[in-house]
Structures are given as C-alpha cells and as structure tokens.
Amino acid sequence: MSEIIHKKPVLTDEIVDDFSENDFVFVQEGERLTDKAYKSTSYLHDVWINFSKNKGAVVGAVIILIITLFAIIGPMVSGYTFDGIDLPHQSMPPRIPGIEKLGIFNGFERGKNVYEAKDALDLYFWLGTDTNGRDLFTRVCEGTRISLFIALVAVVIDIVIGMSYGLISGYFGGVVDMVMQRLLEVLNGIPTLVLVTLLGLVLPSGMTTIILALIITGWIGMSRIARAEVLKLKEAEYVLASRTLGAKHFAIIFIDILPNIFGQLITMAMFSVPSAIFTEAYLSFVGLGIPAPAASLGTLISDGYKSLTVHPYMIMSAIVVLALLMLSFNLFADGLRDAFDPNQKH
Amino acid sequence: MAKYITKRVLVSILTLLAILFVLFLMLSLMPGSPFNDEKLNATQKALLYAKYGLDQPFFIRFAKYVAAMVKGDLGFSYVINKNKAVSEMVAGPLMVSIKVGAMGMALGSVLGLLLGIAAALNHNTWVDTLCSIVSIMGVSVPSYVFALLLVYFVGFKMGLIPILYTSKNVAASYIGPMIALAMSPMANVSRFTRSEMIDVLGSDYILLVEAKGVRQNNLIMKHALRNTLIPIITIMGPILVNLLTGSMVVEKVFGVPGIGTLMVTAIQSNDYNVVIACAFIYSALYIVMMLFIDIAYGIIDPRIRVAKEK
C-alpha cells in the first residue's frame, strides 16, 4: 500500500518576487492517498475470486447446497416417513402437483394412470413409492442424509488421521518415516474394496462398519500429500528460524507449517468425499451396508435394481442423486484446487 | 536397475504375505462357520473340522496354507462346490475377469486418447468444453451407475445388448460390462492427455517443427503424441485400481461369471477358502500391476529410480 502525504513546499525568495504565497493552493493538501489501481487483496479473498470465476466449481457448490437443503427439510415437508409401509399404495409411479399437467411425473405407467386405477387421485408421491409402498422422495432424502454424513466423516478422518500421519512422517523423517511408510505401503497394497468387503463380513453391517473401513484406508491419499508438502517446507528458512528460537516440534508442525499447506489439504479432503460416498453405495449394493428399513442411496439402488425393468423410476431417483452428488463434489474440489494454487499444472 | 527391481519385488512379496495374514486373521474372526447344515450335530461338526484341519491353532493353519499355496494349492471349497479344488474354481472366472477388464481398459484408453487429442487441438472451443464435460462425468460417476443405465436403456429399452450374461452369446454379453468399465479409464486418460498435449504443443521444439514445415498430421503423430504418452504411465496405476474395484460391482450387475461374482457368492455362503483365494487374487493382481508400472517408469525416467534407491 503506497501512501503519499502532500506537504506545502517551502518557497524560495526568487519565486516569491513573482508569485505571492497565496497564488497557488495544493488540491490534495493534507489528504492521504492510496494506490487504488493496485489494491492488495488478502489470501482468502484471492482464493474466493479465483473460485467464483470457475463456473463448474460454483455450479458444484450450488448443487451440493441444494441437495443438502433437500436432505434436511425434505422428510419434514413430504408428509411421509421413510419407513412407513403402505402396502395398498405400493409401486406407484412419480406424480408431482403442477408438473403433472406437462405430461411428466403424472402418475402414468405404460399408458395408464396408476393413481386412478388405485383410487388414489388425491395422493401425490413425488418420486413414487417402492414395492412396500414407502414414499421414495422421503427415502431418497434420508439416503442423501446418510451419504452427506459419510462425506463429513470422511473429511474428519482425512484431517485427523491422514493429515497427522503425513505431517509426522514427513517432519521427523529418518527411521520414523521409514517405518511409517512401510506400514502405509502394506495398507495401500490391500485393494480398498476387498478390505471393506471383508470388514463388512466380520462386523455387523451398519454405519460403524463403514466408518471403520474409512478409518483404515480412507486417509492414505491425504497422508501422502501432507508428507510431500511437509518435505518441501521443513527445510525452509522460516522453519529454521523458528527452531533456532526454541520452538517445540509440535509448534513447528502445527503452527508454522500447517497453515501454509492447509489449502492443498482441504482440497485433498474434498477429493476423498466422492470415494467415501461410493464406498457406502458399493457396500450397500453388495448387501453389506446400512440394514433395512433405513435407506441409504446404495440400499435404494440395490432395491431398485431388483425391479429395474418393471419399475425403472424406483432406481432412477437414487442414481441421479448419487451421480449428481459425486459430480458436484468433484467439481467443487477441482475449483478449490485451482483457487488455492492457480499456478499449478493440471 | 537390477538392485531397484530386486528391492521392489521383495517389498511386493512381503506385502502379499502381510495381506494374506490379515485376510486369514479376519476370516477366522468371522461369525458363522462353513458347515451350516442344521442336520449336523456337534460330533459330526467336530469331525468335519478335524477333516479339514480347522480345529488346529491359528498359526499352524496359516503356515500350512502358505506352504500349500506356494505349490499352487489353494485348498478345497467347503460350500459352493463341495471338495472341488479352489485353484480349479478360480481359474475360469479369473480369465473372464481379465478379459473383460483388459477390453474395458483398451477401449477406454483409445477413446480417452482420441478425446484428449481432439480437446487439445481445439483448445478453448466447444469441442474442448464437450470433452471436459464427458471426462468429468466419467471421473465422478461410478462405473456401476453406468452399468445400470446401460442395462436399462441399451439392454432393456433398445434391446441391443443382453441384460444378463448368457453363455449362448458370450461376445455380445461382454459389450455391456466392457463399455461400463471403459468410462473411468477414458475420462482419466482424456483429461491427462489434454493437459499434457496442450503443454507439448506450446513448447519451443514444436514451434521449430512447425517452422520446418512438417505437415499437421505428422506433427501430431510423430512429435507431439510421443512426448505426451510418456507421462501417461504415471496415471496407469490409479486407473487400474479404479478398474479393479469397478469390475467387482459391474460383474455383479451384468451377472458376468468373473472373480467378482464368485467372491460375492463365496462371501454370502461363508466359503472361507474361496473368499481368501479371490481376495488374494485381487490383491496380487493389484500389487503385480503396481510393480510393473513402477519398473516401467523407472526404466523410462531414471530420476524416479535414483530417488527411490536412496
């Protein structure tokens, strides 16, 4: 920030002969001037500008917000519960008030109105019902809640385990690094899905198993990035200065180094979200995930798969939400990466 | 180079042993037993356990298993195909899985390469945007979602491919799984090719080649593409991992009789030896592929080798 303060110059005697001291007045006398053309921006503001320029990333963020909103308020406004079995109204196609006049979501299946046939013209199941008569809109919202919860867990695990593991391994180096990296190699040698499948077998299926599976393998990518970033920074002069001043290892790692690499780490955490969501969907699809009657996107897909050719609408809503969710998290993470580090090559 | 390869092979073997141990440990902790027939009483069960050596301590069983495995003996199936050797049961499905996987990989890589080149040559036009959209879809949408969509729209609605695997028309049955598996490699390869190609096309030596008056086709095929291809080996590892994990579910969706389907069946019927064998084959495939990629990269780029030898 450049600041110029104009002062009245002292006039010499010769000039005074021609001009009187009051002939001229400085326009900006005593005023503080800032260089507006090259105004400096803070780091976070810079990140925000880069991020909002990226259309895909903004679209991704907006879709995540909308889906989250639906997951929160959906079950409240739908008027149904996710596990309320209603056998008379089973396998109803989607019907939404208003949109039904356009010829889609109008309760028709194979040319006939199922709602009329079942004498239920006053009912609206927005995304239809499943083979037990449960409202699919409510179930998809519930399933999204579970997927979003798993996304949150994945980020926390990434930060708590992956980041610390990478930071410690990279910072201390030597024997510590050797042992930790060999351990990581073995863990990484096991294909994630094989491990997850076996865990699902040993433990009772449910949320705990999925979380445990993520705890074992979900953080390996993150720890690699954290380690690589620490290796770059730990020889830096400011770290040396800090050490010379007597800072403890803990302080150097978490106060000096961490803030400088946090952007990359957050990006990495965002990239691990889609694979965590996929892990859940996969486990439930194979039949080792969240047990009935609770609904996750994976359970919904595996249920809908059974009647794919008869009632395709039962699977489509869950597939679309799952695909949208994974797509938007990827776009969002892409945008974050570009925003935090615009010079990096992709 | 020899030293580097020896070291990598040793580490791989150790990793495989560790994985086998973990698998064995997990399975012995598993609830349920392979002999679930209600007609069996306690004495009969004990006899069966003794016959198959399941009554011995954990470490002895493990040691015996490893010793037999070295000779190519993977034990017998307890449930799915009683008393049939697992090595026989696994061989057929393994070939099917490898065939489907390799076809998916080949299709995906070729399409991805073409897409990437098209995007790079038409940088910042609608072609580029289209390619980017296709590749971000391929990267983020899981392969089994593609499989399900293929089954419904192409298989059921249009009737172009069989919905489920049929032994009558094996070739047609492979089309669906192949396309579903090709999506992820295609997306990854096209993204990477695009960015590498843009870099290469902007370099000084390409400017020189252009100045010499080399024709466009020649320029791309001979000068630009070759230099683009080398770094692509780096992403082969993650791509193959995706392919392996994807194949487990895609096989189930299409009912392809591969290793993935066999493993899921074995899991559901508590068939210990088959589960261990399948899981081990998956891990072994994964590790061997990683090993090859590492060695290939070490040969192409000596800096990697030097860094890892330290």
Regarding predicted confidence, which is higher, A156 or A205? A156
Closest Cα partner for A127 from A315, A328, A327, A323?
A315
The one-character DSSP state at A2 is -
Nearest CA in chain A to B17: A186
- The CA-to-CA distance between both ends of chain A, in Å, stands at 33
Residue A204 in tokens: 């009772």
- The reported pLDDT for the residue numbered B31 is 60
Q: Give which of B129, B199, B245 to mutate to test A binding, by max A Cβ within 10 Å.
A: B245
Q: Structural domain boundaries of chain A?
A: 47-83+135-344, 92-128
Where is average pLDDT lowest: A143-157, A332-346, B213-227? A332-346
- The reported pLDDT for the residue numbered A345 is 45
Q: Give which of A190, A301, A307 to mutate to test B binding, by max B Cβ within 10 Å.
A: A190
Region B277-287 average pLDDT: 83
Indicate the pairing of strand A112-113 with strand A108-109: antiparallel
Tell me which long-range contacts B84-92 makes (C-beta under 8 A, separation of at least 24): B86/B273, B86/B274, B86/B277, B87/B277, B89/B262, B89/B274, B89/B277, B90/B259, B90/B262, B90/B274, B90/B277, B90/B278, B90/B281, B92/B257
- Tell whether B252 lies on the interface with A, counting CB pairs under 8 A: yes
Q: Kindly determine whether residue B142 and residue A322, on different chains, have CB atoms separated by under 8 Å.
A: yes
- Tell whether B118 lies on the interface with A, counting CB pairs under 8 A: no
- Tell whether B136 lies on the interface with A, counting CB pairs under 8 A: yes
* Backbone phi, psi, residue B62, to 5°: -65, -45
- CA distance linking residue A182 with residue A191, whole number of Å: 16
B194 CA to chain A: closest CA distance, Å? 10
Region A136-144 average pLDDT: 86
- CA distance linking residue B262 with residue B284, whole number of Å: 17
C-alpha angle B30-B31-B34 in degrees, rounded to nearest 5: 90
A138 CA to chain B: closest CA distance, Å? 21
Q: Structural domain boundaries of chain B?
A: 1-75+271-310, 93-257
pLDDT for A1 beyond 50: no
Give the range with max mean pLDDT: A114-123, A144-153, B1-10.
A144-153
- Tell whether B133 lies on the interface with A, counting CB pairs under 8 A: no
The one-character DSSP state at A113 is E
pLDDT tens, position by position, B78-132: 777 777 788 888 888 888 888 888 899 899 999 999 999 888 888 888 888 888 8
pLDDT tens, position by position, A83-117: 777 777 777 777 777 777 777 777 777 777 777 77
- The reported pLDDT for the residue numbered A271 is 82
- The reported pLDDT for the residue numbered B42 is 73
The one-letter amino acid at A273 = V
Which of A199, A331, A345 lies nearest to residue B195, judging by beta carbons? A345
- The reported pLDDT for the residue numbered A62 is 94
Q: Token match 């009051």: residue?
A: A22
pLDDT for B141 beyond 60: yes
Q: Kindly determine whether residue B136 and residue A192, on different chains, have CB atoms separated by under 8 Å.
A: no
- The reported pLDDT for the residue numbered B310 is 46
- The reported pLDDT for the residue numbered A8 is 59
Contact A320, A254 (CB under 8 A): no
- Chain B residue numbers with beta carbons less than 8 Å from the beta carbon of A309 are 152, 156, 163
Kindly report the number of other CB atoms within 10 A of residue A116's CB atom: 11
What band does A346 get if pLDDT is binned at 50, 70 and 90?
A: very low
Region B175-186 average pLDDT: 89
Pick the CATH number of B93-257 from 1.10.3720.10, 1.10.8.590, 3.40.50.720, 3.20.20.150: 1.10.3720.10
Strand partners, A34: A3
Taking CA atoms, A271 is separated from A186, A265, A302, in Å, by 23, 10, 25
Residue B161 in tokens: 């491919």
- CA distance linking residue A94 with residue A313, whole number of Å: 7
B151 CA to chain A: closest CA distance, Å? 9
Regarding predicted confidence, which is higher, A342 or B277? B277
Q: Kindly determine whether residue A326 and residue B195, on different chains, have CB atoms separated by under 8 Å.
A: no
- Chain A residue numbers with beta carbons less than 8 Å from the beta carbon of B16 are 189
- CA distance linking residue A9 with residue A23, whole number of Å: 13
Taking CA atoms, A210 is separated from A151, A319, B28, in Å, by 11, 20, 20
- The reported pLDDT for the residue numbered B34 is 60
pLDDT for B213 beyond 60: yes
pTM of the model: 0.77
What band does B306 get if pLDDT is binned at 50, 70 and 90?
A: low
What band does A14 get if pLDDT is binned at 50, 70 and 90?
A: low
- CA distance linking residue B59 with residue B67, whole number of Å: 12
Q: Kindly determine whether residue B253 and residue A315, on different chains, have CB atoms separated by under 8 Å.
A: no
- The reported pLDDT for the residue numbered B308 is 54
Restricting to B residues 146-185, those with a Cβ less than 8 Å away from any Cβ of A are 148-149, 151-152, 156, 163
Fold of A47-83+135-344: MetI-like fold (1.10.3720)
With a CB cutoff of 8 Å and minimum separation 6, the contacts of A211 are A150, A153, A157
pLDDT tens, position by position, B255-267: 888 888 888 778 7
The one-letter amino acid at B286 = Y
Region A243-268 average pLDDT: 87
pLDDT for A63 beyond 90: yes
- Chain A residue numbers with beta carbons less than 8 Å from the beta carbon of B263 are 197
H/E element, A283: helix A258-286
Indicate the angle between helix axes B86-121 and B170-201, nearest 10 degrees: 40
Region A125-138 average pLDDT: 79
Residue count of chain B:
310
Taking CA atoms, B283 is separated from A181, B122, B259, in Å, by 19, 41, 12
DSSP letters spanning A17-60: HHS-TTS---TTTT-EEE--TT----HHHHHHHHHHH-HHHHHH
Strands (E), chain A: 3-5, 32-34, 108-109, 112-113
- Tell whether B195 lies on the interface with A, counting CB pairs under 8 A: yes
Region A58-80 average pLDDT: 87
Give the range with max mean pLDDT: A245-259, B40-54, B139-153.
A245-259
Contact A308, A315 (CB under 8 A): yes
The one-character DSSP state at B270 is T
Residue A116 in tokens: 């009329």
Indicate the angle between helix axes B86-121 and B259-268, nearest 10 degrees: 130
Where is average pLDDT lowest: A157-171, A283-297, B291-305? B291-305
